[in-house]
Amino acid sequence: MASVIKLESNVEESISYNPATGVEVGRVAQTSAEDVQAAVDRSRETFHKWKNTTFRERRALIMKAREVVLSEMDEIAHLISAESGKPFGEAIAMEIAPVLDLMQYFARRAERILKPRRIGIGLYATMGRYSKIVYHPLGVVGIIPAWNYPFSIPLGEAAMALMAGNSVVIKPSELTPIIGLKIGEVFAKAGAPENLVQVISGDGRTGAALVDAAPDKIMFTGSVATGKKIAAAAAKNLTSVVLELGGKDPMIVFDDANLELAAGAAVWGAFCNAGQSCSSVERLYAQEGVAEKLTKLIVDKTRELKQGTGDREDVSIGAMSSERQLKIVEDHVNDFREAGATIEIGGKRNEALDGLFYEPTVITGATNDMRPMQEETFGPTLPIATFKTEEEAIALANDSEFGLTASVWTRDYAKGKRVAGKIEAGSVCVNEVLYTHGIGQTPWGGFKNSGRGRTHGREGLMELVQPQHIHVNRFALLPDAWWMPYSATAVETFRGIATKFASGSLAKTTTLIPQLWKRIRELRKK
Ligand code: TXE
């Protein structure tokens, strides 16, 4: 929940509320487009100093920021809980712990990942040449996150960008501006140079102003529709973008799976963060022989879950982040009902609570032709469909515009890996679910409409640098055979290069040596 009020003629202030209680969490002024441009300009100035720091200096800053987060862990978790509605224990488990792990990993590893490296250049090496790849930072990285993981996603991306030598401007979601400001405070307390990490505030207009201010990279997390707008706007300045968009992630449970475990995973995968994770289980496909038993286990486990305000330790399911999001869930559940699916448990707002609470909902009889099996729900719903064969399960899972994550449950690991390889998704787990965003070492991103580019892992760090190829000819005594002027001898040599040298075979290339000498002698006479 957030509302915008006019302060003065041209300054707007946004009020952030706790979605579980309606109590105000804080207020922020919307950063104007001019101030966004000024922030990006300041950021670029700071970048020119920061890019010259050593990895040791960058590591010291990130490790100090980690210490600040650790020392304020409970306070930060309560703030995340207050602004997003999630249980504060979940804020520790799903935001603070993973981002602390990611920060230590990149603080220690970035130098090794970005070390200049020699690469093999095949037969060119026989001509005395070698190639080295050096990684340069990009400049200003603009981070535009969503509200569902308002702390860990922008903080993790900022830490990676800084380790790569960039400066950062963060535009938090308008639903979670205060936690966004907290990230700026963490870096300030860690002693970050002025303007190295700046946090600006506001809604989509501020986000659009950040894109227009021509940073050198945009890291975006949010909806497909906004991702497309950002990609289009960024194209004007040729700013490259990483888009982490939504998902409709399938979970496939084969009849040989450990059903007790699969049921627990389905409940957590569908309902943690009130279902507002891009990698939430949004579709469960159960093999026909076990569907009934699995559904019963899931419904029994769902019945045990407590829903309430995020400050209570025994609460598993908190509030949804906004009325708008809750309405999408209501709309999807109604659609399921009308299409003939059965609501096994839940299916309505939690009337016993005042805030934005939707009961965890298990639905059976779902089929892929129902609209909410195709659109992202982003709420605490778990629709269950059935399948007969492995091929059918793969086809059902792939029948989606999205492809972020998926999971396969079976005791037959060969089958698990075989099916995983056929699923069109950026991450596929066998006998695990949802949590791989928490493994900072591995790339994160989607196939199809789930995104472009990667965050996390080596691949994610590579998004934040530009590779430079340095090519050296150590025997710079002779002209190259392909230089000008051309002649009949030249063309004959080029034929030889195409048929022999370009075959990659040293033996074939050796037979070309007389022709090469002929050509080089010709060039030297000119
Ligand atoms: O996202 P938006 P919303 C999905 C989920 C949800 C839907 C809408 O299905 O129902 O997206 O959520 C900023 N230029 N996901 O409205 O609009 C905006 O201020 C630049 C999936 O929250 O995409 C915010 O900071 N920035 C997802 C951020 O973009 C703009 C997580 C996200 O807002 C902008 C959240 C513009 N033109 C929702 N317009 C996931 N991948 O996990 C808005 N913004």
Q: What is the pLDDT along the chain (526 residues), one digit of tens a residue?
A: 555 555 555 668 889 999 999 999 999 999 999 999 999 999 999 999 999 999 999 999 999 999 999 999 999 999 999 999 999 999 999 999 999 999 999 999 999 999 999 999 999 999 999 999 999 999 999 999 999 999 999 999 999 999 999 999 999 999 999 999 999 999 999 999 999 999 999 999 999 999 999 999 999 999 999 999 999 999 999 999 999 999 999 999 999 999 999 999 999 999 999 999 999 999 999 999 999 999 999 999 999 999 999 999 999 999 999 999 999 999 999 999 999 999 999 999 999 999 999 999 999 999 999 999 999 999 999 999 999 999 999 999 999 999 999 999 999 999 999 999 999 999 999 999 999 999 999 999 999 999 999 999 999 999 999 999 999 999 899 999 999 999 999 999 999 999 999 999 999 999 999 999 999 999 998 7
Q: What pLDDT shows up at residue 2?
A: 55
Instruction: Report the C-alpha gap between 216 and 234 in whole angstroms.
Output: 10
| 429 labelled catalytic | no
* Closest listed residue to residue 169, CA positions, set 215, 203, 132: 215
Could you give the CA distance from residue 185 to residue 170 in angstroms, rounded to a whole number? 12
Protein residue whose Cα sits closest to atom 18 of ligand 1 = 204
Atom of ligand 1 nearest to the CA of 404: 41
| Rounded Cα gap, residues 6 and 494, in angstroms | 71
Q: Which of 84, 157, 223, 371 to mutate to test the pocket of ligand 1 (most atoms within 8 A of CB)?
A: 223
Q: With CA atoms as reference, report the closest residue to 522 among 477, 497, 475, 490.
A: 490
pLDDT score, position 3:
59
Ligand 1 nearest atom to the CA of residue 277, by list position: 42
Q: Read out DSSP for 428-449?
A: EEES--SGGGG-TTS-B--EET
Atom nearest to 244 CA in ligand 1: 41
Report whether 19 contacts 80 (CB < 8 A). Answer: no
**Long-range contacts, 293-298 (Cβ 8 Å, 24+):** 293/259, 294/253, 294/259, 294/262, 294/263, 294/266, 294/384, 295/344, 295/362, 295/364, 295/384, 297/259, 297/260, 297/263, 298/263, 298/266, 298/267, 298/362, 298/382, 298/384
**CA atoms of 82 and 24, how far apart (whole Å):** 9
Q: How confident is the model at residue 8, as a pLDDT?
A: 54
Nearest CA to ligand 1 atom 27: 222
Atom 34 of ligand 1, residue of closest alpha carbon: 204
Diameter over CA atoms, the chain:
94
C-alpha distances out from residue 414 to 235, 253, 309, 408, 418, Å: 43, 15, 43, 11, 6
Run of H or E including 268: helix 259-271
| Contact yes or no for 171/1 (Cβ under 8 A) | no
Catalytic, out of 157, 174, 244, 344: 244
Residue with tokens 């009889």: 365
Q: Which is the closest atom of ligand 1 to the Cα of 221?
A: 41
Mutate to test the pocket of ligand 1, among 36, 226, 228, 320 (most ligand atoms within 8 A of CB): 226
Residue 24 tokens read as: 């105000």
Residues 473/484, Cβ–Cβ less than 8 Å: no
Q: Which helix (H) or strand (E) holds 297?
A: helix 288-303
Q: How many CB atoms are located within 10 Å of the residue 483 CB?
A: 12
Which candidate in 12, 278, 282, 344 is catalytic?
278
Residue closest via CA to ligand 1's atom 25 equals: 173
Among residues 278, 281, 279, 308, the alpha carbon closest in space to that of 294 is found at: 281
Which two three-digit tokens encode residue 117? 């490296």
Q: Are 215 and 241 in contact (CB under 8 A)?
A: no
- Find where tokens 């640098």 sit: 465
User: Do residues 210 and 171 touch, judged by C-beta distance below 8 A?
Assistant: yes
Closest C-alpha to ligand 1, atom 35: 222
Count of helices and strands (H, E) across the chain: 18, 21
What's the CA-to-centroid distance between 242 and ligand 1, angstroms?
14
- How far is the C-alpha of 129 from the C-alpha of 348, rounded, in Å? 69
Task: Please state, as a whole number, how many other Cβ atoms lie within 10 Å of the Cβ of residue 198.
Answer: 22
3-class SS string, 482-505: CCCCCCHHHHHHHHHHHHCHHHCC
Residue 45 annotated in active site: no
Residues with Cβ < 8 Å from 33, sequence gap 6 or more? Answer: 205, 206, 209, 212
CA dihedral 367, 370, 375, 379 (to 10 degrees): -70
Among candidate residues 150, 141, 164, the one with its CA nearest the CA of residue 218: 141
What is the number of the ligand 1 atom nearest to the C-alpha of 211? 20
Do strands 465-473 and 281-287 pair parallel, antiparallel, or not at all (unpaired)? unpaired
Cα Rg of the chain, angstroms: 27
**Nearest alpha carbon, ligand 1 atom 4:** 223
The whole-angstrom separation of Cα 157 and Cα 103 is 9
Q: Which helix (H) or strand (E) holds 323?
A: helix 323-338
Pairing label, strands 281-287, 249-253: parallel
